[in-house]
């Protein structure tokens, strides 16, 4: 009788462990990814901002209007190593979250400390290319959080493949507010073509702050190869393009990918 009970307990443990392993495996995706960008590449975004306030919140200053109609250039500085097997949590922590770019304005000035969130925003939306369908499986296609939570938003990751673009978002919703960001990512390059960050309150009155980054419509991919015969680009032309930038802001010479207005 005792042996039978032990066998039953052992069987239950084996089944539980097996089920756990199966569930864990199902929450993983096997992916084959590679970066299309590389350190030293530049990516240019046009920035617009908007604000809405009702009378209740009319005295609250806008958050991002000082960035309206500016142009920001993101310099790719660091790209995480890529692996084959990812859970959603591992992909977020190892690929999405790390800071990948440093940014400056088109005139060469640096972002202020309060505006450096743009670097994180672009970094989180800069993706490696490949296995988009498998990445899609790691995340919910729509918001599945608690929309009726009081005050503190319930944040969730959302992702889905839509034609040649990959939609990716981190959104928090509560009874009172909607806060977060989303991006549309080009599946050919992994570069975001559109990013929006939003902060809205909707209960006793309403307010809304919104900032949008659009990949420059006249983006040109230039590869500067400084050959002895200067057949592709002369050093004088390079100096003209990057006039006003200090050495830390100038990308490396052997390969530069940038957008020029």
Provide the CA 173 distance to its chain's centre, in angstroms. 19
Backbone phi, then psi, for 34, in 5-degree steps? -150, 150
* 169 confidence band (pLDDT: 50, 70, 90): very high
**pLDDT, tens only, 38-69:** 999 999 999 999 999 888 878 888 999 999 99
The whole-angstrom separation of Cα 44 and Cα 261 is 9
For residue 152, the model assigns a pLDDT of 82
Q: Is the pLDDT of residue 144 over 90?
A: no
Provide the CA 68 distance to its chain's centre, in angstroms. 20
**pLDDT, tens only, 203-257:** 778 889 999 999 997 554 433 322 233 333 333 333 333 344 444 444 443 333 3
User: What stretch of H or E contains 196?
Assistant: strand 192-203
**pLDDT, tens only, 179-201:** 999 999 999 999 999 999 999 88
**For 182-221, where are the alpha helices, taking DSSP H only?**
none
pTM for the model stands at 0.74
- Positive/negative CA dihedral, 175, 119, 91, 130: positive
Look at phi and psi of residue 183 and say left if phi exceeds 0, alpha if psi is from -120 to 50, else beta: beta
* 146 confidence band (pLDDT: 50, 70, 90): confident
């Amino acid at each position: 009788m005792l042996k039978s009970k032990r066998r039953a307990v052992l069987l239950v443990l084996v089944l539980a462990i097996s089920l756990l392993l199966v569930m864990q495996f199902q929450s993983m995706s096997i992916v084959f990814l590679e970066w299309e960008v590389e350190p030293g590449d530049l990516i240019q975004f046009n920035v617009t901002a908007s604000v809405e306030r009702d009378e209740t919140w009319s005295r609250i200053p806008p958050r991002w209007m000082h960035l309206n109609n500016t142009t920001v250039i993101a310099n790719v500085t660091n790209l995480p190593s890529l692996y084959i097997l990812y859970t959603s949590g591992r992909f977020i922590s190892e690929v999405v979250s790390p800071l990948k770019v440093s940014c400056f304005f088109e005139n060469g000035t640096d972002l202020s400390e309060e505006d450096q969130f743009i670097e994180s925003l672009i970094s989180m939306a800069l993706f490696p290319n490949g296995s988009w369908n498998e990445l899609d499986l790691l995340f919910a296609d729509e918001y599945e959080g608690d929309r009726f939570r009081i005050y503190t938003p319930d944040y969730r990751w959302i992702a889905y493949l839509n034609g040649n673009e990959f939609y990716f978002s981190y959104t928090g919703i509560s009874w009172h507010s909607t806060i977060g960001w989303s991006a549309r990512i080009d599946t050919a390059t992994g570069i975001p073509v559109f990013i929006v960050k939003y902060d809205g309150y909707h209960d006793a009155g309403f307010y809304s702050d919104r900032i949008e980054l659009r990949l420059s419509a006249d983006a040109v991919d230039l590869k500067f190869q400084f050959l002895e015969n200067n057949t592709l680009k002369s050093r004088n032309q390079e100096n003209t393009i990057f006039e006003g930038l200090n050495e830390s802001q100038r990308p490396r010479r052997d390969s530069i990918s940038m957008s020029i207005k």
